[in-house]
Amino acid sequence: MEASAPAKVILFGEHAVVYGEPAIAVALNLRSRVRIFESNEYRVNGYPLERKYHGYILNAIKLCWRGPPLEIFTESEIPSSSGMGSSASISVAMVAALLSTTGKVKEEEVARLGFEVEYETQGRASPIDTSTVTHGKGVLIDRQKRENFLWRIEKNGIYWNIHHVDVPRLKLVVGFSGIKASTGEMVAKVRRFYQWNSFARDVVREIGRLTLRAIGPLENEDYEEIGELMNRNHKLLTILGVSHPMLRKMVESVKRYSYGAKITGAGGGGSIVVLTDEQDEVIKALQAIGSQGYKVEISDKGFSVENQN
């Protein structure tokens, strides 16, 4: 059985969403794929299944599989630790592949189990990444139930309402610093700051308010306002301590060509997302300082079960 899931990019609200604040993300046209076969022992890409290297796959198996050992093959177009949801994509693809062996796969079930996989592996997570790569298109997560409601996920007293959101065909560039950062470590770093510092809690709440203010400009395709809100979100994430000197340099390098630019994902390295009409110029500016740029498109396609063996 083979299944795939897309990458994602968070436009607004990363880190704050872990604490129940809203976030907006979109699926991208990069994908990861998983193939599974029954076997005599668990192996991943020819190597024994080990928690140290295959935590997401191992937790997906624990949650979704009661059958014999599996031979598992993975491939991905998504740079790992880049902020584009490589772990969410592989988690959702793995869940979808496992569930598909017993019949038709429901989108909500994949989203719920994909979230549980990430939560168990990272120690804390929000459903923003896994719901986005499950559904495709655009996703708004909020405590308030709004139009275009999809499903609700709860964990440890925190709940998130997941919605479809119409997002225009934004011209985006994802700039990858080449510095791989652990999502789990960044989430834990913010958690410590949040727990011990009331100012950090205020910053998290402000990110949530800013995210809701972005809904109108997105619907109206007001690129100037979207970009300004992205810039403000970036400054707030920097206050939370998830930036990096290279990320700051990247954001500065693309200012003249962009409406806005910000950290996307966990931070500490990883990527920025840039809203621009000049994608080629942004990529050149990023390359000039030693980073990489990817032209990306919003993907309407979420997870997919692609064939049965």
Beta-carbon contacts of 156 under 8 Å, excluding residues fewer than 6 positions away, are none
Q: Which residues pair with 10 in a beta bridge?
A: 25
pLDDT tens for each residue of 62-81: 999 999 999 999 999 998 77
The one catalytic residue among 129, 202, 222, 280? 129
% the chain with pLDDT above 70: 99
Dist. CA 211–CA 233, nearest whole Å = 8
Q: Which residue has the higher pLDDT, 151 or 197?
A: 151
Tell me which range, 28-32, 101-105, 194-198, 216-220, is most confidently predicted by mean pLDDT.
Answer: 28-32
- pLDDT value for 186: 86
- pLDDT value for 166: 85
Q: Which residue has the higher pLDDT, 57 or 168?
A: 57
Q: Environment class of residue 47 by beta-carbon count within 10 Å: exposed (0-12), middle (13-18) or buried (19+)?
A: exposed
pLDDT tens for each residue of 122-146: 877 789 899 999 999 999 999 999 9
Question: Which segment of 56-60, 184-188, 290-294 scores lowest on mean pLDDT?
Answer: 184-188
Dist. CA 94–CA 97, nearest whole Å = 5
Question: Does residue 129 carry a catalytic annotation?
Answer: yes
Whether the predicted pLDDT of 32 surpasses 90: yes
- pLDDT value for 308: 54
Q: Alpha helix (H) ranges present in the chain?
A: 51-64, 86-100, 107-122, 128-135, 183-196, 198-213, 215-220, 223-239, 245-253, 279-288
Dist. CA 89–CA 130, nearest whole Å = 7
Please tell me the pTM assigned to this model.
0.88
Model confidence at 213, in pLDDT bands (50, 70, 90)? very high
CA dihedral 233, 237, 240, 244 (to 10 degrees): -150
Mean pLDDT for all residues in the chain: 93
> Residue 15 is encoded by which pair of tokens?
């880190």
- pLDDT value for 70: 96
Q: Which amino acid is at 169?
A: R
* Residue recorded with tokens 């559904």: 135
Dist. CA 241–CA 233, nearest whole Å = 13
Whether the predicted pLDDT of 270 surpasses 90: no
Q: Which amino acid is at 161?
A: N
Q: What is the mean pLDDT of residues 78-105?
A: 90
Q: Which residues pair with 169 in a beta bridge?
A: none
| 274: enclosing H helix or E strand | strand 271-276
Whether the predicted pLDDT of 41 surpasses 70: yes
Q: Give the chain's domains with CATH numbers.
A: 2-167 (3.30.230.10), 172-296 (3.30.70.890)
Residue 284, SS3?
helix
Dist. CA 260–CA 233, nearest whole Å = 10
